[in-house]
Amino acid sequence: MNILTDDLPVSVVIDGKVYALNTDYRTGLTIMEAFEDQGLTDQEKALVMLELLYPEVPRNIGEAQRKALWFLNCGEPAIASDNNQPEERRYSFTQDARYIYTAILQTHGIDLERTEYLHWWKFQYLFLDLREDCFFSRLIYYRTQRAKGKLTKDEIEYCNKIRDILDLPEDKNPEANAAADEFMRRLNGN
């Protein structure tokens, strides 16, 4: 699919039947927040995804989940590292919401609060193309460098000062992070 020449998907075909999708970015974000919720079971996360994304949930739940993940991944296959584990995320749609909001406003001039509708894929494309000088991009930089062990002395001091902002829930609870990774692996069929 080419966003420059093709219409963005608003439905999927499962077992020969067309199923509409709730394609607004708010739906996608709510699903992502459920995936990040350490208090939900795997089944509850899958249920949230299906009930939010499909106005009418298909009977073929397995295929509905595969199509839902295809949609949430913007038509791209899930990427796994060499050891068959998903790449570690350096952001949280829940924890970083205010910084993502301001980054999209700064970079693209889009006020998400005033936006009535924005297709999930368009939101994702905007999200992936944020200015390097916005605070959110700096957070990603610090989280990445910290994970690699490549922070300078000054950066370490700064990161210690903003630790409450910088630390993701996974950093605080490795067991929950492992459970979330396992859920995503099973959902992706790995």
- pLDDT tens digits, residue range 29-87? 999 999 999 899 999 999 999 999 999 999 999 999 999 999 999 998 765 545 555 56
Which pLDDT belongs to residue 169?
A: 79
In three-state form (DSSP H/G/I as H, E/B as E, the rest C), the secondary structure along the chain is: CCCCCCCCCCEEEECCEEEECCCEHHHHHHHHHHHHCCCCCHHHHHHHHHHHHCCCCCCCHHHHHHHHHHHHCCCCCCCECCCCCECCCCCCCCCCHHHHHHHHHHHHCCCHHHCCCCEHHHHHHHHCCCCCCCHHHHHHHHHHHHHHCCCCHHHHHHHHHCHHHHCCHHHHCHHHHHHHHHHHHHHCCC
Q: Does position 177 have pLDDT exceeding 60, yes or no?
A: no
Provide the percentage of residues in the chain whose pLDDT is more than 70. Answer: 84
Mean pLDDT for the stretch of residues 155-167: 94
pTM of the model: 0.83
Which pLDDT belongs to residue 78?
A: 63
- pLDDT tens digits, residue range 3-26? 889 999 999 999 999 999 999 999
Of the candidate ranges 27-31, 84-88, 111-115, 128-132, the one whose mean pLDDT is the lowest:
84-88
The total of other beta-carbon atoms located within 10 Å of residue 91's CB is 15
